[in-house]
Amino acid sequence: MSEEGYVHHTVLRDEAIRVLDPHTSGIYIDGTLGGGGHTQALLDACAPHGRVIAFDQDLQALRNAEQWRSPYGERLILVHDNFRMMDQHVQRLGLPGVHGILCDLGVSSPQLDDAWRGFSYQHDAPLDMRMDHRQSVTAKELVNIRSERELADFFFQYGEERWGKRIAQFIVAARSKSPIETTEELVAIIKAAIPASARKDGPHPAKRVFQALRIAVNEEMAALSELLVKVPKLLLGQGRVAFITFHSLEDRLVKKAFADYAKDCICPPDFPTCVCKHRATMRVITRKPIIPTEEEIEVNSRARSAKLRAAERLPREEGEN
């Protein structure tokens, strides 16, 4: 896809900036550059001296950013990497930490709409689904090599697909005759596996399987889990983090991590010293997730399932890493 065609609707842009509350000399991270909407909003909000480090593993997103970055000069730093490596790059840049982190975990519209990326079940293309073409594993390899049990687990865990086991059986039967190489072939197998009565209502029958394969190919849950572990050490005192999630598995991971970081000593009051070793490092800002308005959903239907959660780093104690 050309840079000119790289159009993306930024989800919960104003809400994300509001909860992060950037200041004019802060250092912020956008862990998912995508179309650049959140990155530009952060840059505008922390002007004139604030900086933004924007990550993306998709080289096309970084190339697109070159088209609009010039007004921001050295205030914008682009990094071609997965956000799971965020701590290494913060260290490489010689920073003690950052004042805010934002991650929009949705797949950008250009990735979904570019047929040849293989993300879409609505266009025929090679089964790819890699965000970063430097990695070797593709959806084609997963579909043709992984066991029936592994495929069924992917579809259930990452796609919440009730027909996952049956779809996995049909995939294994089909590939025993010839390799499954295109999105169109996979869609046909999925449709054959799901009873016609179950395909009458609801989303496209391939939607959940394609989501599950994309997550598995790009190790999205593992990357998110790794980043969540690192967040408290990345944030300076009173720094804030915000995640925008699009399905329940992501949202549960973020919600649980925030709750764990907000947990303080649970020893009974009559204990002379703490034995539980719990020490709150963060406080949750959003007791309930922020969701898009009806107006935003009307403009961008893909925003419907978005949820924004945010937390703030508590002041660091003396000697804390």
DSSP readout, 237-274? EEEEEEEEE-SHHHHHHHHHHHHHHT----S-TT-SS-
pLDDT in tens, 231-254: 999 999 999 999 999 999 999 999
Calculate the average pLDDT of the chain. 91
Residue 1 has pLDDT above 50, yes or no: no
pLDDT in tens, 87-131: 999 999 999 999 999 999 988 766 666 777 888 898 899 999 999
Residue 3 has pLDDT above 70, yes or no: no
H/E element holding 205? none
Question: What is the pairing mode between strands 51-56 and 76-80?
Answer: parallel
- Given this model, what pLDDT does residue 112 score? 65
Please say whether the beta carbons of 226 and 87 come within 8 A.
no
- Given this model, what pLDDT does residue 4 score? 43
Residue 154 has pLDDT above 70, yes or no: yes
Please say whether the beta carbons of 221 and 197 come within 8 A.
no
β-bridge mates for residue 55, sequence order: 79
β-bridge mates for residue 313, sequence order: 282
- Given this model, what pLDDT does residue 111 score? 64
Domains and CATH numbers, the chain: 3-110+220-313 (3.40.50.150), 136-217 (1.10.150.170)
Residue 273 has pLDDT above 50, yes or no: yes
- Given this model, what pLDDT does residue 203 score? 85
DSSP string for 290-309: B---HHHHHH-GGGTT-EEE
- Given this model, what pLDDT does residue 201 score? 80
Question: For 182, which DSSP code?
Answer: B
